[in-house]
Structure 1
Amino acid sequence: MAAVTKLENIQALRAIAALGVVLSHAHSRVERTYPSLISESFVDRFGGLSWIGHAGVDLFFVISGFIMIYVHFDDFATRNAPFQFFVKRLIRIVPIYWLLSATALALLFIEPSLFYHARSLDVEWIVSSFLFFPIRSETGVTTPLLGLGWTLNYEMYFYLIFAFCLFFRRSFLLPFMLIFFGTSILIGVLISPYKLFVILMTNWLLLEFFLGCLIGYAFRSGYNKLPLPLAVVLIVSAVATILAWVTFGPNHEIRGLPRFLWWGLPAASIVAALVLCPRLVDLKVPKWLLELGNASYSIYLTHIFTLPALALIQKRVDHIALLHPDAAIAVMIVVSAIAGYVFYRVVEKPITRLLTKRYRPMASARQKSATG
């Protein structure tokens, strides 16, 4: 696999998506800690502005599809490509997720009040949480141990589909994904599934990965002549569409087709504008934002520990408790970003580097064995 250059604007977009998710959860924490004060928050008064962060998940899914094609465009129908791709994805995703899931499990015993929902500790639910298999716990909880892990269930499913596509020529990818995901979604519409793993396999969110792949395919194929004015229109209209729903929509949290239309398509429009416009694709971004993009996975996973810890401190320290709600939200975002970045440098990056280094000899041996 040939090395490809990281696109700075996409890294910046990953940072923005992660911080958007933190914004939404920080608002929820402040609302739960000081319900009588949250009405003073601009974030709260401006419709459902706090929900805009949830659209960051859709942005992550589109970016994920784009990156898979951008990085692996030349790996289709090559020996060992599916195996190598999937192992590298496991190295990137699993160790940190398992470490933090184990931390969440320990905290359930030590301080269960840190979590929003009461959770049972039945073994099947715990094991399924570690294996990215969505099930309901005995008390009806639908999220895994690490609440945000529901998004990684989708990521892992997408990786399986993408790894399968790597067995074939590149031209196989987009038609197969469109037909497979489209048929799956149609089945979901017809049967309205209850079981979570069936909901996952038939969810409209899968089309967001497809759109990311489509954009990546266009970019790597040389279709990157989008005029700057059109790119700006795409970005502005996308942001306006997301804001329109969270401000005026009947329900800030949306699912299914409405979510795909109001959040998924705008997310794809933003990514397409940034990578298909020559004036924007090489856009230089501040180094700090680039670093936050590199650390976005750690920020995304660790902030669910940082926020409740800050909420506890906030309740126990009087002068912090008197902060304006928006100031409290801002502090939570900044501290979560810093904590996530430190975790990235101290934990995620060294572990990923170590496992990648150990995997290379195994991959070389497998390659030699396959070539005889």
Structure 2
Amino acid sequence: MYTMERKKLELIQFSRALVPFLVMLFHLSGTMMAYFDYNLLGFSFIPISGGVNYFFALSGFMMYYIYRGRIGQMHQLKSFLFNRFIRVYPLYWLLTCLFLFVLFLNPDFSVGHETDIDTLITSFLLIQSPTELEPVLNVAWSLVHTVFFYFVFSLLFFSKVNISRVIITIWALLTIAFSLGYLYIDHYLIRFFFNQYNLIFLAGIFCAYCITHFKMNVKVSILLIIIGGMGFPVIWLNSIHSFIPISFDMGTGLASALIILGLGSVDMQKDMNIPRIFNYIGNAAFSIYLSHNFALDLLSELISQLSVYDYLGGWLTSMVLLFLMLSIGCLVHSFIEKPLVQLIKKGIFEKRNSLFDPVKKTV
């Protein structure tokens, strides 16, 4: 067993840059089929990409990798939750409000439940809705699971860390039992608390534990990356033909874990460098993910009305939409997300300092 110091994981960052393209391509394929009856790369017959499951595994991986040295330190809990909060909620709230404004101007973008009071409350809080409908910003369904897992992970900061580990282990075993059908309770909270997505988060944690405690042969690591990469198209085909008895989420979750384990292992042993553009896109991944579907809805409607498809055809129209989605996501990251986070951090820092400034007496 060995333990290595924390270092920047370039290949992991590279994967953060690539996965948004996968998610965008699949959503774009569905939109192109709906608007123009064009099947982009044959993806329209596949329900989802599984890219979100990669982000689930990556979230678990990064949380353990970053905070592993602070486990059991209660004083770190507040900092962890604060950093998670400003990472997710401010930008999400802003884009949700913007989408609601668009719905007010053009109700055609609505599917019917976005302005219900229950949906609004659960959407803004990012908690599971009793109706199990998607949040106002539909891609935020994944954030509901992510936020829940943040709270589960936060148990590891409690000083009685062994008790926390027992609680998480029991929760994981129950999740496995519910996922395999050994247990069943027909209630939306049970389905949420013991959802199989939790196992993907935990798989990410396991991968981070492995690369920080064990040295894996680089050739084996590369083999894991290849197997995981091949796993995605295999599971896509399996979603249509059902030749392997595994669910889509578990299949893509397992493939994601193998890729992350392989990439992380290589990163820990080799000094890698990726082009700056991929480093930037990796940092912008959250903004791209949150904004791309919203942008795609608006752009598709505009392109349809302008008859752009008639001039460019399916392939070029798709590439234009992909480029515009990516560009909008990057603009959101540079001009909204980053300044917003910096502003909040600066405000909190100045407020904290003001509490410790000596009170000046006036004579």
The residue type equivalent to 1:94 in the other structure is: Y
Deviations 1:65-103 (A, max 9, x none): 111111111112224211210111001111011111112
The superposition leaves residues 292-347 of structure 1 with CA deviations (integer Å, 9 ceiling, x where unpaired) of 00000000001122101221221122344443323322222221111111110100
Asked whether 1:232 is paired with 2:231, we answer no
Between the aligned partners of 1:160 and 1:366, the Cα distance in structure 2 is 29
Q: Which of residues 110, 118, 124 is equivalent to 1:124?
A: 118
Please give the alpha-carbon distance, in whole angstroms, between the structure 2 residues aligned to 1:364 and 1:185: 47
Alignment partner of 2:29 out of 27, 30, 34: 27
TM superposition shift of 1:33: 0.6
Whether the 8 Å CA contact 1:211–1:268 is kept in 2: the answer is yes
Alignment correspondent of 2:237: 247
Rg larger in 1 or in 2? Answer: 2
Q: Which residues of 2 match residues 241-320 of structure 1 at below 5 A? A: 241-250=231-240, 258-277=247-266, 282-320=271-309
Which of 123, 144, 168 aligns to 1:153? It is: 144
Q: One-letter code of the match for 1:209?
A: F
Q: Determine whether 1:73 maps to 2:63.
A: no
Displacement of 1:205 after TM fit?
A: 0.9
State the partner residue of 1:113: 108
The whole-number CA distance in structure 1 between the counterparts of 2:355 and 2:155 is: 19
**Are 1:78 and 1:167, in contact at CA under 8 Å, matched by a contact in 2?**
yes
Letter in 2 for 1:42: L
Which residue number in structure 2 is paired with residue 212 of structure 1?
A: 204
Q: Residues of 2 paired with 1:322 and 1:196: CA distance?
A: 48
Per-residue Cα deviation, 1:221-265 (whole angstroms, up to 9, x for no partner): 3x2x3223222221221122220121243379x9x9613431111
Q: Compute the RMSD of aligned alpha carbons.
A: 2.9
Q: Which moved more, 1:300-309 or 1:160-169?
A: 160-169
Give 3-state SS (helix, strand or coil) of 2:302's partner: helix
Aligned identity (percent) is 23
Distance, in Å, in 2 between the alignment partners of 1:168 and 1:217 is: 20
Label 1:281 to 1:10 Cα distance change in 2 as closer, same or farther (>3 A).
farther
Match in the other structure for 1:6? 8
Q: Secondary structure at the match of 1:277?
A: helix
Q: Are the counterparts in 1 of residues 308 and 317 from structure 2 also a CA contact under 8 Å?
A: no
Matches within 5 A, 1:42-191: 42-44=41-43, 48=46, 51=48, 54-115=49-110, 117-119=111-113, 121-136=115-130, 142-168=133-159, 176-187=167-178, 189-190=181-182
Task: Letter of the 2:88 partner, please give it.
Answer: I
User: What is the CA distance between 1:271 and its match in structure 2?
Assistant: 0.3
* Residues in 1 aligned to 2:205 and 2:290: alpha-carbon distance in whole angstroms: 24
Q: 1:342 aligns with which of 331, 335, 338?
A: 331
| 2:29 aligned partner, one-letter code | H
Structure 1 position 32, deviation (Å):
1.0
Tell me how far apart the structure 2 counterparts of residues 74 and 365 of structure 1 sit (CA, whole Å). 30
| Cα pair 1:174 1:214 within 8 Å, conserved | no
Instruction: Return 5+ residue gaps in structure 2 as ranges.
Output: 357-363
Aligned-partner Cα distance in 1 for 2:276–2:292: 21
Distance 1:186 1:152 in 2: 24
Letter in 1 for 2:157: L
Q: Identify the residue that residue 370 of structure 1 maps to in structure 2.
A: none
- The amino acid across from 2:118 in the alignment is E
Shift of 1:156: 0.6
How far the C-alpha of 1:163 sits from its partner, in A, is: 1.0
SS of structure 2 residue aligned to 1:57 = helix
Contact 1:177 1:210 in 2 (8 A): no
Amino acid at match of 1:113: D
1:288 CA drift (Å): 0.8
Are the equivalent residues in 1 in contact too, given 2:296–2:321 (CA < 8 A)? yes
- State whether residues 29 and 311 of structure 1, in contact with CA within 8 Å, keep that contact through their aligned partners in structure 2: yes
Normalising by structure 1, we get a TM-score of 0.84
Q: How does the TM-score come out when normalised to structure 2? A: 0.86
- Deviation per CA, 1:133-155: give whole Å up to 9, x if none: 12155xxx710111011100111
Q: Distance in 1 between matches of 2:303 and 2:117?
A: 34
- For residues 92 and 125 of structure 1, the distance between their equivalents in structure 2, rounded to whole angstroms, comes to 22
User: Structure 1: which amino acid aligns with 2:271?
Assistant: D
Deviations 1:160-180 (A, max 9, x none): 011111114667766653332
Distance 1:326 1:169, change over 3 A: farther
